[in-house]
Chains A and B, each alone.
Chain A
Amino acid sequence: MAEPSAHRSSGGSGDGGSRPPRQGGPGGGSGGPGGRKFFRRKKVCKFCVEKIDGVNYKDVRLLQQFVAESGKITPRRLTGVCTRHQRRVSAAIKQARNIALLPFSNR
């Protein structure tokens, strides 16, 4: 069973980058004997696709999509944003927090 072990190792190293198992295919592999194969859509960077080049702290609507309900910045592995844009997004979110456009935390 190469798939589960590969998956676990990729989860352990949280630094991102192109990982072989995710790159290899959308399928999550067999979940077990007779188990349903779950289908994972390939994630794409919203900023690259929609060609949004400036990430601004004033654009609350945009930034809100990358903030969890608790107020935390959503990790790249969940949103699919590329490294470059994630860095800009997180910087913008931090600026927006400072001027009370976004919360630091929601309880």
Chain B
Amino acid sequence: MQQRIYEVMFIVRPDMVDEDMDKLVSSIETQVTTAGGTVKSLEKMGKRRLAYWVGGFQDGFYMLLTVEGGGALVHEIERRLRVTEPVLKFITVRMDEEIKRMEKMKKLRDAKKRAVPVQAVVVPAAAATEAAAVEPVPAAPATA
């Protein structure tokens, strides 16, 4: 089965006790693993003012769950969250393609960055003649 990375952000009601919260977190983690996925991270983003009223609340406790698995896993997590009463809202976003794209961009930028300092270093090192001998093409515009 195809393994994908998903981010599930959900809002828990703000008047929840810490112990209940911990219980909820651990139960979600076990549910993910039993459904055949792996929890990459579960981050508490803290209490935040909601942009609009949700279920009679103006604040909410935001949580961010990153999981790896297939579509069936997402289906199961969403079903569980819908059943879990203290969860006000959730959203699932597929991240693997975004991550791949970001890495690609980063690699491209790094390659570009690396290409520039090489020229910059060679010229002030007073080894212009050597550089010209080794790399005649890139050294020529730098000296000119």
The B contact surface, by secondary structure, is: strand
**Cβ of B18 under 8 Å from chain A:** no
Interface size class of B (residues with CB under 8 A): 10 to 19
Which of A4-12, A13-21, A94-102 faces chain B?
A94-102
Binding site secondary structure of chain A: loop
Whether the Cβ atoms of B11 and A100 lie closer than 8 Å is yes
> What 0/1 pattern do residues 64 to 107 of B give for CB contact below 8 A with A?
10000000000000000000000001110100001001100110
Which residue in chain A gives the minimum CB-CB distance to B91?
Answer: A99
Q: State whether A101 touches B51 (Cβ < 8 A).
A: yes
Render A43-69 as a binary contact track against B, CB cut-off 8 A, 1 for contact: 000000001011001100000000000
Q: Which residues of A contact B (CB under 8 A)?
A: 51, 53-54, 57-58, 95, 97-104
Which B positions have Cβ atoms within 8 angstroms of A?
Answer: 9, 11, 48, 50-52, 54, 60, 64, 89-91, 93, 98, 101-102, 105-106, 109
